[in-house]
Amino acid sequence: MNITMKEAAEKLMAAKKLLITAHVNPDGDAVGSTLALAAFLRSKGKMATVMIDDKLPKNLSFLPGYDRIVRPEEGKKADAELLVILDTSLDRIGEVAKAAEGLPVLNIDHHISNDGKADFLYNDNRAAAAEMIFEIIDHLGGDFPPEVATPLYTGLATDTGFFKFSNTRPDTLRAAARLLEAGVRPEQVSESLEEKPESIVRGQAAALQTMELSYGGRVAGLYLDRELATSLETTEGFIDFVRVIEGVEIAVLIKCMDENFCRVSVRSKGLDVSKVAMKFGGGGHIRAAGFPVKKPLAEAKKDVLEALGEVLK
């Protein structure tokens, strides 16, 4: 059932115990929007738990509430009356779905590829889930203390490439300005996100050694084998190294996480890559998408490149 922003706000305020989650392989928007919403709801006297079924990026550990995020425990049901899914759809929350089995689902997402399977879906073409949560909090008359403002700004900044991507709109910048007025220090956010341990910098160098150009230089890819992919704490931003190459229209990063499982990220400079993601059971935006491929690296690479070739036609 599709609902409006106001109706989503009403659903949030009507529940006393809420379980909040986002997609596996979480990014700044997934973590930032969940933490901000949880902090706001707690300020209203509600019990709000953030549960994400994956390892969290360490470069987000500066966010208030990061240490309170939990992972699902096998066989243990969540003590909640409403499951709130942010920045993705029901099919990409991993084992949280089992922990929340039987709960009504409120889904707040900005991806056009959302599967629409939630009981209540607020889906809007915003720059980030964080922008949607900002609007809900603002609608409810909430203020933006650091534990709310900093995660929201982080979500906006990361999903817009620090306001460089085409999804940056006037409303996005107005929201960011409001958060700066509330006290967010943009230099602290950017420095925290950009700071990397030596191992990640060396990992970037190793990843670049795998770079290949396809389709006459129109596609640039990084293909990380299992040893390299699993040795890295994060690959956030790796794909941008090849996306900026002159003549490249689509950039792809494939990480082999297990013998028969790869994670794929795709970015474009205008072509619609969301259709490729949906074909493989993933999702995203026209210019940025991600999906899993349950095959070894070589086979995943072949299948993905074939699919991207169709987009280039």
pLDDT bin (cut points 50, 70, 90) of residue 284 is confident
Shared-domain flag, residues 71 and 53 = yes
CA dist 198 and 192 (Å) reads 15
CATH code, domain carrying 72: 3.90.1640.10
Indicate if 231 and 140 belong to the same structural domain. Answer: no
> Are 91 and 145 found together in one domain?
yes
Q: How confident is the model at residue 90 (pLDDT cuts 50, 70, 90)?
A: very high
Of 147, 162, 193, which closes a domain?
193
Identify whether residues 147 and 266 lie together within a single domain: no
Q: How confident is the model at residue 195 (pLDDT cuts 50, 70, 90)?
A: confident
Backbone phi, psi, residue 260, to 5°: -125, 40
Say if residue 206's pLDDT is above 90.
yes
What pLDDT sits at residue 197?
Answer: 85
Whether 6 has a pLDDT exceeding 90, the answer reads yes
The pLDDT of 11-30, averaged and rounded, is 96
Residue 286 and residue 228 in one domain: yes
Last-in-domain residue among 136, 167, 193: 193
- 151, exposed or middle or buried, with CB in 10 Å at 0-12, 13-18, 19+? buried
> Which of 138, 168, 193 is at the close of a domain?
193
Higher pLDDT: 288 or 105? It is 105
Task: Give the residue among 104, 129, 114, 138 at the shortest CA–CA distance from 6.
Answer: 138
What's the pTM value of the predicted model, to 2 decimals? 0.86
Model pLDDT for residues 36-71, shown as the tens digit of each residue: 999 999 999 999 999 999 999 989 999 999 999 999
CATH number for the domain spanning 273: value is 3.10.310.30
pLDDT of res. 199: 86
What pLDDT, on the 0 to 100 scale, is given for residue 200?
A: 86
Residues 112 and 225 both lie in one domain = no
Give the chain's mean pLDDT: 95
Q: Do 291 and 186 share a domain, yes or no?
A: no
Residue 126 has pLDDT above 90, yes or no: yes
Is 181 found in the same domain as 124?
A: yes
Separation between Cα atoms, residue 20 and residue 37, nearest integer Å: 8
Q: How many domains does the chain have?
A: 2
Residues 6+ apart with CB under 8 A from 141: none
pLDDT in tens, 219-259: 999 999 999 999 988 888 899 999 999 999 999 999 999 99
pLDDT at residue 282, as a whole number: 87
Place 113 in a pLDDT band, splitting at 50, 70 and 90. Answer: confident
Give yes or no: residues 205 and 148 share one domain: no
Report the alpha-carbon distance of residue 125 to residue 6 in Å, rounded.
Answer: 16
* Whether 20 contacts 38, CB under 8 Å: yes
Say if residue 147 is in the same domain as residue 239: no
Q: What pLDDT, on a 0 to 100 scale, did the predictor assign at position 193?
A: 92
Residue 283 has what pLDDT?
Answer: 84
Q: In what order do the strands lie in the sheet with 219-224?
A: 212-214, 219-224, 250-258, 261-268, 288-293, 283-284
Which domain does 247 fall in, by range?
198-312
Together in a domain, 95 and 213: no
**pLDDT score, position 37:** 98
**Count of C-beta atoms within a 10 Å radius of residue 78:** 22
Q: How confident is the model at residue 30 (pLDDT cuts 50, 70, 90)?
A: very high
Cα–Cα distance measured from residue 312 to residue 6, given in angstroms and rounded to the nearest whole number: 40
Same domain, 18 and 156: yes
